[in-house]
């Protein structure tokens, strides 16, 4: 929203390493863009995919510990 530019594009790495999280992130970014009536920068997908993957791993570890 503030127009701040991200410095690194992690999309290529994230798409190869974590394809499911990358697809989910792409869908989420598309929906956010529609809701805000603006286009999100493509690098946002990689960053969101990284956080989705980390949250999924944390959830799996929590489930395994139960």
Domain span at 34:
11-65
Domain count, the chain: 1
Is residue 6 one of the residues assigned to a domain? no
Burial class (CB in 10 A: 0-12, 13-18, 19+), 65: exposed
**More confident call, 27 vs 65:** 27
CA 6/CA 65 separation, integer angstroms? 36
Tell me the C-alpha distance between 16 and 56, whole Å. 17
Q: Is there a domain that residue 46 lies in?
A: yes
Q: What was the pLDDT predicted at 9?
A: 79
Q: At what angle do helices 19-36 and 43-65 cross, to 10 degrees?
A: 120
- pLDDT score for 25: 97
In a domain, 25, yes or no: yes
The answer to whether position 2 is within a domain reads no
Q: What is the pLDDT of residue 5?
A: 64
Q: What is the pLDDT of residues 3-51, one digit of tens each?
A: 666 667 789 999 999 999 999 999 999 999 999 999 998 999 999 999 9
């Amino acid at each position: 929203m503030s127009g701040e530019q991200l410095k690194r594009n992690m999309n290529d790495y994230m798409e190869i390493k974590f394809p499911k999280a990358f697809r989910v992130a792409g869908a989420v970014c598309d929906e956010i863009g529609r809701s805000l009536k603006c286009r999100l920068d493509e690098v946002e997908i990689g960053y969101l995919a990284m956080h989705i993957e980390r949250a999924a791993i944390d959830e799996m570890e929590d489930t395994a510990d139960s």
